[in-house]
A and B are shown apart, each in its own frame.
Chain A
Amino acid sequence: MAFREKTAWLTLISMLVAYTLYFGLIVGGHPAGYELFAMLWLFGAISLTQLVVVIAGSLYLTARTPKEERARPDERDRAIGRRGAAAGYYVLLIGTIVAAVVMPFLESGARLANIGLFALVTAEAVHHLVILTSYRRGWHG
């Protein structure tokens, strides 16, 4: 498996674990679902942990991969990256529109922020999924 594919897997899996936990807690009635400070603390703690995991995992993968395998991205890597970014952009756009539509009906800023965060996380997950699918199944840009 290519180095870039491994780092994409690392980011995707850590994201899915971290934000499944975050949104799972919110659905389960955690105060982060309706109180701004609780939301900031929970989201901050979970995203910081995820960041540390991604950095540590990337360092581990870098150390274990020969230098020639970590070559600069070429035209295929860039094309796949652009495809992932474009797919993520459309998901984010839809999420932003949904947030804007429901905004007048929400009494809590935390709920709106969570809808926005959900859109961001989903867009980022789609971004990495498209990248992984393109590496696995091929890409004819």
Chain B
Amino acid sequence: MHSQFRILGLFADFDGAFAAIADIRRFKAPGVKIDNVTLKSPIEHPEIEEVLGERPVHIRGWAFIGATFGLIGSFVFFAGAQANFLAQYRGGKAIITVATNIVLSYEMLILFGVLFTLAGFVVGARLMRKKGALYDTAISVDQIGILIEDLNADTLQTTRALFHSHGVLDILEEEIT
């Protein structure tokens, strides 16, 4: 069975890191797939998607589902509560007060929209996972990391050489299997 590796190259700035990724896309590291490349950085670079390719984000979908659930679910809840509130004399007034319920449902729309957005963020960003890939604390300071996974011994060697050609500061490696 062949060993699988992952490698993390640390670069001084985005230019070096982006140039390395551009070379991977230009097939200068044969066998390395762009989908296996992860950029780690202390800030969000606005052009990351242009460099790595577009990768889907589903947060808005989560927000929409949450907001819809909040709106409809809370309206049903309030209407149900009002319809079952038999201890209160209504005196001819509407049992289910639509205008009032709209105000409250609006608040619940926002609350559940926010809660679902957060849930979508945790899921989509793959947070709260115990086992993390290679990481270096310099990334949270000022260095840019390129993590490449699913490499075999050959591609590991070529990737290492590619990193060196772009002035990598440090390389961390890990054998997965």
A, B: real partners: no
Binding site for A on B (CB under 8 A): none
Give chain A's interface residues, CB within 8 Å of chain B. none
